[in-house]
Amino acid sequence: MGAAFGQKPLGPVLHLYRSQLHPQHRQITYTKPSSKNLEPHFSVESQAFGGSALKKSSSVASTGSKRMIPLGTGRPSPEYYPWIRSLESKQFDTYSEAITKETNPPAANGHHQLALQVSTKHDDGYNLALALNYGHAHVELVHNPSYSNWDTCLTAGTTSALEIAFRIFCNRGDIVLSEKYTYPGTIKAINLVGAQMQAVDLDKAGASAIYLKEILDKWDISRGPKPTVFYTIPCGQNPTDTTQSLKRRQQILEVAEEHVLIIIEDDPYYFLRPGLCSTGADSDISADGVPSYLFLDTFGRVVRLDSTSKILAPGLRAGWVTANASIIEKFLAYQEVSTVAVSEPVQMMLYILLDDNWGHTGFFSWLDFLSQQYRIRRDLMLEACSKYLPQDICTWVPPDYGMFLWLELDWRKHPQFKDGLSCGSLSLNLLEIENNILQLALEDGVQVTKGSLFRCSKKPIEELHFRMTFAAASEQDLTQGVRIFAGSIRKEFTIY
Amino acid sequence: MGAAFGQKPLGPVLHLYRSQLHPQHRQITYTKPSSKNLEPHFSVESQAFGGSALKKSSSVASTGSKRMIPLGTGRPSPEYYPWIRSLESKQFDTYSEAITKETNPPAANGHHQLALQVSTKHDDGYNLALALNYGHAHVELVHNPSYSNWDTCLTAGTTSALEIAFRIFCNRGDIVLSEKYTYPGTIKAINLVGAQMQAVDLDKAGASAIYLKEILDKWDISRGPKPTVFYTIPCGQNPTDTTQSLKRRQQILEVAEEHVLIIIEDDPYYFLRPGLCSTGADSDISADGVPSYLFLDTFGRVVRLDSTSKILAPGLRAGWVTANASIIEKFLAYQEVSTVAVSEPVQMMLYILLDDNWGHTGFFSWLDFLSQQYRIRRDLMLEACSKYLPQDICTWVPPDYGMFLWLELDWRKHPQFKDGLSCGSLSLNLLEIENNILQLALEDGVQVTKGSLFRCSKKPIEELHFRMTFAAASEQDLTQGVRIFAGSIRKEFTIY
């Protein structure tokens, strides 16, 4: 247990943790949140929805320390899982043995069983409570929420958590606020539940608090009920790679207090910190990072989503959500009839990695290592951008957080518009140019993502963007990829 | 590849497969199903809902054989997954090496990486298409659907698939038909989407087709729209352990054709075949089992849910759904914004077990082995029931399929009713007696499940049931458990 690599000085994450022990950045209002305050936020669907009687009834028996003969729940005996090692190896410390040895087939069986152990809910050596304990301690270390009745639970990945969040808070016909460009999965989830989106403008310090306030102050209810949810990706925003400054977060929280908003803080890039690039008066992000909404929130109106996808592995389908306990109860109730749990082999992988091997310090050390790696990759991409991209057409802001680079192209330089606007819809013409550039890039062997895919509203936008990432390609391919893509842009803009 | 234990004669599953090559049991109507026919079945929510533009755009690049530099999708490079063995070991045949050796840490890293490989979508050695190919072949072998445009996809477990199914087919206020007692997860999911349930009576051959027809023939639309979905657990029904006879299935399909029903065939116990016990004119189930609704369906109105929970391991959160292709499209669209995929380590475990190690024959052989084991366990429980349960109070039907034993208690023998009905609500009194028995059993160290938890309708039922399972306890505990539980019943009924 404990730190695996204690030699290194504490990285930015631990610095942040220490700075947060003095919560000088928090808002003044210390309203005690309660489930009553939140009641009006719940959708028709989620309002009356609670946990299941069967699970409650079966947990009665498992809470006592007495041995129970299980004739109740229909969960097969572990001896009938083809991966289980044996009934005896219930302890987690035997897992590493289990994966290094082939097992003898159980006597009655005669079947070859694969040497992978699957945990069961009835194991004594490991259970969800232990895993949650790690999660709870992690949230306390990093975000140290200021109100007492917060809670956290595992989710089957952030995409699943987002769908559940929108089902908890949105009715059909509702309108959700969000950064003008955002994660397409969110756009789909909001559309699925029958809600629409209202774009909030962005500047270099993130979503505009002034714009947000204006939308809400002047809300015309003939458009639908006044929004009650602001969805935001505050760090290394996908796709624009902006990170909200502390001041901006405080301003947005003020608007949220005034207009009674739930803030969904979708923060998968929080721990990916390539290091500061940002300059100018707008930025107050220190090398220690910037406090989360969860940290700043005193009311319990923030629903924070964390993900393992960007910091451990994307295929795990595992994340966690932290919020007011009455919101977490809703999440658990929804999960009970949908995802049920993070798959047990993955729970086990996480448990062994985080709790058994790394501990908190080891995890933070891994995150610092990742950030250093992303710094190298980001700087390579920035260097290639400066070297190869046509600078009279392309602009970009070097990112402090995350894994994306958001390229803006000046469409006015395109031959089609050089002598003023051409006929037809500008927006449609821009989509055509965007598509041409993508096709040229794919033909040349580079995959990039069209900016238009991230538009949260269907209103035409007179902008032309591409999103690039420095997370996926090999280091040498990063430079090569940007060089090729620069060529595709030049071709479309007929610059040689 | 191929069978691992070819010595054994073909088990019942393969016999069934062979008998199904001659589809003499199918209905006559061979209506070609199309998505147009199904359109009226889709809910308001699901009707307009399709796939995501981002995924489609990123798949453009991955379909070609040309090497692409990935600056598009934000999926981190596998060298940053702490479990990955190395970038070189993309082939699946190296997995067994990967789990038996500790790996050397990558040069740039210096971090201890756990020796577990996580598959990525970009691996050449393994991908979802291969896994689906196995699934498709399995469905073809076992159910051999009679119409051409059926499809199958993985689900993150049947609980998740059920929630999606009810969202696809139900609007708030709808009424879903189901066996009178059913899986509580289904009851919760149906309540979540704002629908209600209409109980269909059961007899020894399963849900009553006559009763089903009568409900639909005489539907009073002041209660709500006429039901369009019949949810059924046709084999080893949870909790009543009945298995629908072939004749009954054909009758129900006739009603479904007449009244344009979707049939949700939730069949997790299909492969658990302890062997025939049933007697009497009602049963036409042969030793080879009974054809599934998916096999019998010629229109494409059956949505079949399969699960790994009861036949491999419950914590995997993995199953598969088979239906008309236009319904599978909806499932995929829903999964894209919720579960996304079965977690990749689990996909890998399944792939290695089913495709690399077992093949189809090996899988069937495992299922036969399980059925033999369940036969032993069932027979032990039946023997204990005959020996210990007070037979003037308790009755049960020995199950042909599944893992449950459904006990009916004659409440008229309870001291409270011996001299006729006591005052107060009978139904409430029965719930109290049920609860007393459960508490006595728990105090004595046996966990059983109250029958009332499975009631799909809130209407009072003048019956008293308990569900027991022979799947979970050890063989010696089975006998012991029944003996103790018999004592708890005697105590409550004051029989000594």
pLDDT tens-digit profile of A195-205? 999 999 999 89
The partner residue sitting opposite B53, judged by closest CB among A340, A349, A453, is A453
- Residue-level pLDDT at A91: 33
Q: What is the mean pLDDT of residues B204-222?
A: 96
Is residue B50 within 8 angstroms of chain A, CB to CB? no
Asked if A106 has any chain B CB less than 8 Å from its own CB, the reply is no
Apex B391 CA angle, B389 and B397, nearest 5: 85
Q: Is A350 on the interface with B (CB under 8 A)?
A: no
Distance CA B311, CA B309 (A): 6
Return the pLDDT at A34. Answer: 53
End-to-end CA gap in chain A: 59
pLDDT at B75: 82
Decide if A482 and B189 are in contact by the 8 Å CB cutoff: no
Closest chain B residue to A341, measured at CA: B317
What percentage of chain B reaches a pLDDT higher than 70?
Answer: 77
Q: What is the pLDDT of residue B305?
A: 97
State the residue for tokens 């209506």: B31
Secondary structure class of A29 (helix, strand, coil)? coil
Those residues whose C-beta lies under 8 Å from the C-beta of residue B467, and which sit 6 or more positions away, are A72, B238, B239, B404, B405, B406, B407, B448, B449, B450, B451, B454
B107 touches chain A (CB under 8 A): no
Residues of B in contact with A465 (CB under 8 A): none
Instruction: Answer whether B337 sits within 8 Å of A53, measured CB to CB.
Output: no
A36 token code pair: 């009553």
pLDDT at A452: 95
Q: Name the more confident of A148 and B219.
A: B219
Alpha-carbon gap: A321 to the closest alpha carbon of chain B (Å)? 15
Split at pLDDT 50, 70, 90, the class of A460 is confident
> Would an 8 Å CB–CB cutoff place A173 in contact with chain B?
no
pTM reported for the whole predicted model:
0.85
- So what's the ipTM on this one? 0.84
B113-136: average pLDDT: 50
In angstroms, what CA-CA distances link A300 with A43, A178, B100, B197, B267?
Answer: 18, 19, 47, 36, 43
Residue in chain A lying closest to B194 (CA): A45
Predicted confidence at residue B276, as pLDDT, reads 74
Cβ within 8 Å of A, B 422-441: 438
Helix and strand element counts for chain B (H, E): 16, 15
- CA geometry: angle at B105 spanning B99 and B109, to 5°? 135
Nearest to B448 among A72, A108, A192 (CB): A72
Q: Is residue B45 within 8 angstroms of chain A, CB to CB?
A: yes
| B91 Cβ under 8 Å from any chain A Cβ | no
For residue A472, what are its two tokens? 């996926």
pLDDT digits 0-9 by tens, A20-78: 444 555 544 444 445 557 888 899 999 878 754 444 544 444 445 678 989 988 888 87
* CATH architecture designation of domain B389-493: Alpha-Beta Complex (3.90)
Lowest mean pLDDT among A235-249, A401-415, B58-72: B58-72
Calpha distance A414→B471 (Å, rounded): 70
Q: Which residues in B lie closer than 8 A to residue A1 (C-beta atoms)?
A: none
Residue A7 touches chain B, beta carbons under 8 Å: no
More confident site: B122 or A357: A357
pLDDT in tens, A339-365: 998 888 888 888 888 888 888 989 999
User: Can you give A83-124 as a three-state secondary structure string?
Assistant: CCCCCCCCCHHHHHHHHHCCCCCCCCCCCCCCCCCCCCCCCC
* Interface check A289 vs B, CB under 8 A: no
- Integer-rounded Cα Rg, in Å, for chain A is 25
Which chain A positions have a beta carbon within 8 Å of B469's beta carbon? 70-74
Neighbouring C-alpha atoms within 13 Å toward the C-beta of A278: 25
| One-letter amino acid for residue B371 of the chain | S
Q: Which residue in chain A has the smallest CA separation from B237?
A: A74
Subunit contact A345:B99, Cβ cutoff 8 A:
no
Confidence band, pLDDT 50/70/90 cuts, at residue B416: confident
Chain B neighbors of A159, CB-CB under 8 A? 336-340
pLDDT at A101 over 50: no
Nearest to A491, CA basis, from A396, A412, A383, A390 = A390
Domain A12-52+129-363 has CATH 3.40.640.10: yes
Beta strand pairing status for A404-409 and B319-324?
unpaired
pLDDT at B54: 46
Which chain A residue's Cα is nearest to B238? A74
Best to test chain B binding among A5, A337, A482 (most B CBs inside 10 Å): A337
How far are the Cα atoms of A225, A337, B71 from residue A341, in angstroms, in the given order?
A: 34, 10, 33
> Which residue of B316, B337, B472 is in closest CB contact with A188?
B337
CB contact under 8 A, B471 and A74: yes
CA A286 to chain CA centroid, nearest Å: 22
- Residues sharing a CB contact under 8 Å with residue A114, sequence separation 6 or more, in sequence order: A82, A83, B349, B352, B353, B357
> B160–A469: do the CB atoms touch at under 8 Å?
no
Contact check, Cβ <8 Å, B45/A192? yes
pLDDT digits (tens, 9 = 90+) for B153-166: 999 999 999 999 99
Q: Cα–Cα distance between A237 and B255 in angstroms, integer?
A: 54
The CA distance from A194 to A167, in Å, is 10
Cα–Cα dist B277/B327, whole Å: 37
In B, residues 119-138, which contact A (CB 8 Å cutoff)? 119-121
pLDDT at B434: 96
What's the alpha-carbon Rg for chain B, to the nearest Å? 25
DSSP 3-state assignment of A161? helix
A313 and B83: CB-CB below 8 Å?
Answer: yes
Interface test with B, best of A187, A335, A338 (most B CBs within 10 A): A338
Contact B453 A156 (CB under 8 A): no
Nearest CA in chain B to A186: B337
> Which residue among B73, B84, B469 sits closest to A71, beta carbon to beta carbon?
B469
Residues of chain A contacting residue B399, judged by C-beta atoms under 8 Å apart: none
A56 part of contact set with chain B, CB < 8 Å = no
Residue A421: pLDDT band (50, 70, 90) is low
* Residue type, position A23, single letter: P
Contacts of A313 in chain B (CB under 8 A): 76, 78, 81-84, 118, 344
Q: B465 pLDDT band (50/70/90 cuts)?
A: very high
First to last CA, chain B: 59
**Chain A stretch 236-275, residues whose beta carbon is closer than 8 A to a beta carbon of chain B:** 238
B59-97 pLDDT tens trace = 444 445 678 988 988 888 777 887 753 333 333 222 333
Helix (H, G, I), strand (E, B) or coil at B361: helix
- In the structure encoding, which two tokens stand for residue B460, read together? 């009072």
Which residues on chain B are in Cβ contact (under 8 Å) with A318?
Answer: 343
Residue A134 vs residue B324, higher pLDDT: B324
Cβ A197 vs Cβ A237: under 8 Å: no
Q: Which of B129-133, B386-390, B461-465 has the lowest mean pLDDT?
A: B129-133
CB A445 to CB B69 under 8 A? yes
Residue ranges of domains in chain A: 12-52+129-363, 76-120, 390-493
Q: How many CB pairs under 8 A join A and B?
A: 365
The CATH architecture assigned to B12-53+126-363 reads: 3-Layer(aba) Sandwich (3.40)
What are B476-490's pLDDT values in tens digits?
A: 899 999 999 999 999
The residues pairing with A408 across neighbouring beta strands, listed in sequence order, are A395, A465
Q: Tell me which chain A residues have a C-beta less than 8 angstroms from the C-beta of B109.
A: 369
A366 → chain B, closest CA residue: B111
What's the pLDDT tens digit per position in A423-433? 667 877 899 99
| Domains B12-53+126-363 and B389-493 equal at CATH topology level | no
Tell if the CB–CB gap between A316 and B192 is shorter than 8 Å: no
The minimum CA-CA distance between B316 and chain A, rounded to whole Å, is: 5
Say whether pLDDT at A114 is over 70: no
Write out pLDDT tens, residues A120-149. 333 434 445 555 678 888 998 899 998 889
Indicate the residue type of A66: K
Instruction: Please tell me if residue B481 touches chain A, with a CB cutoff of 8 Å.
Output: yes
Task: State the number of CA atoms in the 13 A half-sphere of A379 facing the CB.
Answer: 11
* Contact residues, chain A, for B313 at CB < 8 Å: 76, 78, 81-84, 118, 344
* Three-class secondary structure of residue B229 per DSSP: strand
**Is the pLDDT at B231 greater than 70, yes or no?**
yes
Which whole number is the average pLDDT over B463-481? 94
Residue partners of A69: CB distance under 8 A and separation at least 6: B445, B446, B447, B473, B477, B480, B481, B484
**DSSP symbols for A315-368:** GG--EEEEEEHHHHHHHHHHHHTTT-SS-HHHHHHHIIIIIIIIHHHHHHHHHH
Angle between helices A325-336 and A158-169 (to 10 degrees): 110
Say yes or no to pLDDT of A107 above 60.
no
Q: Work out the pLDDT band at B51, boundaries 50, 70, 90.
A: low
| C-beta atoms of A446 and B317 within 8 A | no
- Average confidence (pLDDT) over A364-374: 91
Between CA A150 and CA A32 the distance in angstroms is: 11
CATH topology of domain A390-493: Aspartate Aminotransferase, domain 1 (3.90.1150)
Chain B residues lying within 8 Å of A68, measured CB to CB? 442, 445-447
d(CA B148, CA B30): 11
A230 and A445 in contact (C-beta within 8 Å)?
no
- Residue written as tokens 């069934």? B16
Q: What angle do CA B153, B159, B165 make, to 5 degrees?
A: 60
Residue B38 pLDDT greater than 50, yes or no = yes
* Distance of residue B37 Cα from the nearest chain A Cα, in angstroms: 23
Helix (H, G, I), strand (E, B) or coil at A209: helix
Residues in chain B: 496
Q: pLDDT-derived band of residue A87, with 50, 70 and 90 as boundaries?
A: very low
**Helix ranges restricted to H, B353-402:** 359-388
Number of H helices, E strands in chain A: 16, 15
pLDDT of residue B164: 97
- B421 to chain A, any CB pair closer than 8 A? The answer is no
Give the residue with greater pLDDT, A422 vs A118: A422
B389-393 contact pairs (CB < 8 A, 24+): B389/B482, B389/B485, B389/B486, B389/B489, B390/B486, B390/B489, B390/B490, B390/B493, B390/B495, B393/B489, B393/B493, B393/B495
Q: In degrees to the nearest 10, what's the CA dihedral of A97, A102, A106, A112?
A: 150
Counting every residue, how long is chain A? 496
CB contact under 8 A, A445 and B67: yes
* Maximal C-alpha separation, chain B: 84
